[in-house]
Copies of this chain bind each other. A is one copy, B any other.
Amino acid sequence: MKVGVIGLGLIGGSMAIDLKRRGFADGIIGVENDRLNGEAALKIGLADSLASVEDCVAASDIIVLATPVNAAVDLLPQVLNLVVGTEKIVIDVCSVKEAMCQVAQGHKARKQYVATHPMAGTEYSGPWAAQPNLFDGRACIICDVEESSPKAVRKIEELYDALNMRVTYMRSDAHDMHVAYVSHISHVTSFALALTVLDKEKDEKHIFDLASGGFSSTVRLAKSSADMWVPILALNHDNVLRVIDTYIDKMKAFRDAIEDFDDDKIRSLIEESNKIKRIIR
Q: Which residues of A contact B (CB under 8 A)?
A: 119-121, 123, 139, 141, 168, 175, 177-179, 181-183, 185-200, 204, 206-226, 229-231, 233-234, 237, 240-241, 243-248, 250-255, 258-259, 261, 263, 266-267, 269-277, 279-281
Contact = CB atoms under 8 A, between A and B. Distances in A.
B183 A210 contact: yes
Residue with the highest number of chain B CB atoms closer than 10 Å, among A197, A198, A277:
A197
12 contacts: A119-B212, A139-B209, A182-B215, A186-B193, A186-B217, A192-B251, A196-B243, A198-B272, A223-B277, A229-B266, A241-B258, A248-B255
Nearest to A139: B210
Given A219-B280, A244-B254, A181 B200 contact: yes
A209 to B, nearest CB: 7
A197 B276 CA distance: 9
Contacts of A237: 258, 261
A210 B234 contact: no
